[in-house]
Structure 1
Amino acid sequence: MAGEKVAGDVALDPRLDFLAGTIAGAAAIAVGHPFDTVKVRFQNPSTAGKYSSTFHALTTIVREEGPRGLFKGMASPMASAPILNGFVFAIYGFLMKAQLRSENAVPTLTQVFLAGAGCGILSSAITTPIELVKICQQQILEPTSKRLLSGAPPNIPSTRELARRIYRERGIAGLYRGISATAYREIGFGSYFAAYEASTRFFSRPRPGHDSAEVAGRHPDVPWYGLLISGGFAGAFSWFTTFPFDVVKTRMQSSADGHPRPYRNTWSTIVASYRAEGAGVFFRGLAPTLIRAIPVNMVTFSTFELVVNTLS
């Protein structure tokens, strides 16, 4: 009926998806960045042996570099990742809409996966340089004791300075080092959205007069704990399925300083890493990533749903 909006209509509004995704992305960065720093330290061969566990890495970084050591490189993702997150949700909604015959159609999980994988691949063009700069900042080791003795301020280049330096020394290709591995990893957005949709459907309780198509569009009838559990499950599941490519990406981008290393491309990095350290290397840093993924994606999806349902 004209003038009426059902949940399915709200679900496929790219403008609302973009706004809600941007706000959710900012909240997620604030919650998860310390664990991302730990993950990068574990995946970087030059620092991996320094830490024995996630907790040991957290406490060691705080002791040697101060609390701000956990937030190194956060400026880069905070300045751009929330907007990128908004684009991810907006592109996901657009690709979903392109697959459905009507606004109220209930998407299959296969359609959800394809829309998620598509938006992930497209977003890798923006994600790659952002993460490269972040990783370069996160792997800078600067003990607090040395700073205190010298009285000098932290010698960490800003996001803009580092990006300019990389571009000046290696051109645009330097900023996009690791893009293939990033794209493979970002296909995991397919499992990310599919896992979330499957989980929320399990928790959904349609209200009288509302059919399943409306509930599938946004999730107003899923209890708050269902949204939290679904978000945490989606984050952990998607990271577990694509984590080896994140290790490969981190190794390629950590070697962007030009030293001769065997990380020339995705395949050579996989082969060299396996020969040197075995299959276990592809899951190094998984523990802090999963610890981070659960609360971060609880915050991401619950914030997204809150904004959408508030403004719809």
Structure 2
Amino acid sequence: MDKESYEKRVKKHLENVIVNYRTTISATSASVVGTLVGYPFDSIKTRMQTYNYGKMTNCIKLTYRSEGVRGFFRGVCPPLVTVSIVKSISFSIYNRSKDFIDRFYDSKSLYGLTVSSSAAGAVSGYVSAIISCPLELIKMQRQIEQLLVRQRQYSTTSLQTGINIFKANGIRGLYRGFLFQGFRDAIGTGSYFCAYEITKKLLTLGDRESTHVTHFFAGGFAGIASWICIFPIDLVKSKLQIDVKSKNKIYKSQLQCIKQIYKTSGVRGFYHGISSCLIRAFPVHALNFVVYEHVLRLIKKLEHESEID
């Protein structure tokens, strides 16, 4: 076999791999961008939900004063890997579930698209939560670990944090708050994909082709809509997962946590810290879908050119 023939075979094989795993590659590319852009906001959200900073500006100032810029990116490296894995799984499950549900509903109609995207998103969210729950718990512990130094509970790595949680509480410790995370991710991912698909459809009425602008605004709106739906659930989950590392646990159950939040702050307490979350949601998810759709389109173009060759 000559060199030119070998190179063509290798190129063809790589093209086939890229085409076959286009959803995974597109979702992974989007998650890397989204994680880097959104992580500082996510860190602020966790701190706001867990400790009484008052205003978001106070949280930002105190974090920067005590930890510098690194404080906003504490624990960012593992999510670059883990979020990419979870997101690629989430998008893959969503696409396969939606293809199945589309057999029973006309996805060209708004009603059919709403049903298929919501149901497929809910399935995707719940299944993904099985993987993401321990990872998210560890990430949140890393984000606030500087605040736990006085309790001598500081961990130097995400792996060590996970080991410490497992030693103290077993596998149940790593899945503390899973009931709320599974519920949150089912509702959140369902509303997320539904809002994106519906908004994209409305912005491309008349069979116009979707553009980067379409994906940007549809993705941004999807992020905001999703977080408005799930923020109270996320708040309870965050408090339960942060509490797992405390020596003296505050909450014995999910119900006690809910009652305590309501008793202390009323209904407003369930939306404490939402401002930083919504500020983060639009640009992160807008870029997420712009990158996802762009990479997906490039791969489809590669597939078309490969078929011509």
**TM-score of the superposition, structure 1-length normalised?**
0.82
Once the 2 structures are TM-superposed, how far is the Cα of residue 139 of structure 1 from its aligned partner? Answer: 1.2
Q: Which residue is 1:224 aligned to?
A: 212
Q: Which residue is 1:307 aligned to?
A: 295
Whole-Å Cα distance in 2 between the matches of residues 112 and 282 of structure 1? 27
User: 33, 39, 46: which is aligned to 1:27?
Assistant: 33
Q: Which residue is 1:171 aligned to?
A: 170
In structure 2, relative to structure 1, the CA distance for the partners of 1:227 and 1:266 (3 Å cut) is: same
SS in 2 for 1:141: helix
Structure 1 stretch 71-80 or stretch 180-189: which is displaced more?
71-80
User: 24, 28, 43: which is aligned to 2:49?
Assistant: 43
The answer to whether structure 1 residue 120 and structure 2 residue 108 are counterparts is no
Residue 263 of structure 1 aligns to which amino acid in structure 2? Answer: Y
In structure 2, relative to structure 1, the CA distance for the partners of 1:261 and 1:142 (3 Å cut) is: closer
Give the superposed CA RMSD: 2.2
Unaligned stretches of 5+ residues in structure 2: 1-18, 149-153, 301-309
Whole-Å Cα distance in 2 between the matches of residues 105 and 170 of structure 1? 45
Once the 2 structures are TM-superposed, how far is the Cα of residue 14 of structure 1 from its aligned partner? Answer: 7.8
Asked if the contact 2:235/2:270 (under 8 Å) is kept, the reply is: yes
Once the 2 structures are TM-superposed, how far is the Cα of residue 262 of structure 1 from its aligned partner? Answer: 4.3
Mapping 1:1-312, distance limit 5 Å = 15-44=21-50, 47-48=51-52, 51-101=53-103, 106=108, 107-141=112-146, 156-187=155-186, 188-204=188-204, 221-312=209-300
Asked if the contact 2:32/2:80 (under 8 Å) is kept, the reply is: yes
Q: Which structure is higher in helix share? A: 2
1:253-274 residue CA offsets vs partner (Å, 9 max, x unmatched): 1101253444233222212221
1:209-231 residue CA offsets vs partner (Å, 9 max, x unmatched): xxx5xx8xxxxx11322211111
Asked if the contact 2:113/2:198 (under 8 Å) is kept, the reply is: no
Once the 2 structures are TM-superposed, how far is the Cα of residue 100 of structure 1 from its aligned partner? Answer: 2.0
Residue 197 of structure 1 aligns to which amino acid in structure 2? Answer: E
1:69-98 residue CA offsets vs partner (Å, 9 max, x unmatched): 001121231221111101100000011111
Once the 2 structures are TM-superposed, how far is the Cα of residue 52 of structure 1 from its aligned partner? Answer: 3.7
Whole-Å Cα distance in 2 between the matches of residues 262 and 103 of structure 1? 47
In structure 2, relative to structure 1, the CA distance for the partners of 1:86 and 1:282 (3 Å cut) is: same
SS in 1 for 2:103: coil
In structure 2, relative to structure 1, the CA distance for the partners of 1:178 and 1:102 (3 Å cut) is: closer
1:93-143 residue CA offsets vs partner (Å, 9 max, x unmatched): 011111122999535211110000110011111111111111111112369
SS in 1 for 2:75: coil
SS in 2 for 1:298: helix
**TM-score of the superposition, structure 2-length normalised?**
0.83
In structure 2, relative to structure 1, the CA distance for the partners of 1:103 and 1:183 (3 Å cut) is: closer
Instruction: Count residues in correspondence.
Output: 273
SS in 2 for 1:133: helix
Asked if the contact 1:234/1:297 (under 8 Å) is kept, the reply is: yes
- State the identity as a percent: 29
Whole-Å Cα distance in 2 between the matches of residues 71 and 279 of structure 1? 31
Whole-Å Cα distance in 2 between the matches of residues 278 and 90 of structure 1? 39
Whole-Å Cα distance in 1 between the matches of residues 125 and 145 of structure 2? 28
Asked if the contact 2:243/2:250 (under 8 Å) is kept, the reply is: no
Unaligned stretches of 5+ residues in structure 1: 1-12, 144-154, 207-211, 216-220
Structure 1 stretch 76-85 or stretch 247-256: which is displaced more?
76-85
Residue 43 of structure 2 aligns to which amino acid in structure 1? Answer: T
Residue 78 of structure 1 aligns to which amino acid in structure 2? Answer: L
Once the 2 structures are TM-superposed, how far is the Cα of residue 61 of structure 1 from its aligned partner? Answer: 1.2
Residue 131 of structure 1 aligns to which amino acid in structure 2? Answer: E
Asked if the contact 1:18/1:89 (under 8 Å) is kept, the reply is: yes
In structure 2, relative to structure 1, the CA distance for the partners of 1:199 and 1:79 (3 Å cut) is: same
Whole-Å Cα distance in 2 between the matches of residues 55 and 135 of structure 1? 20
Whole-Å Cα distance in 1 between the matches of residues 59 and 284 of structure 2? 19
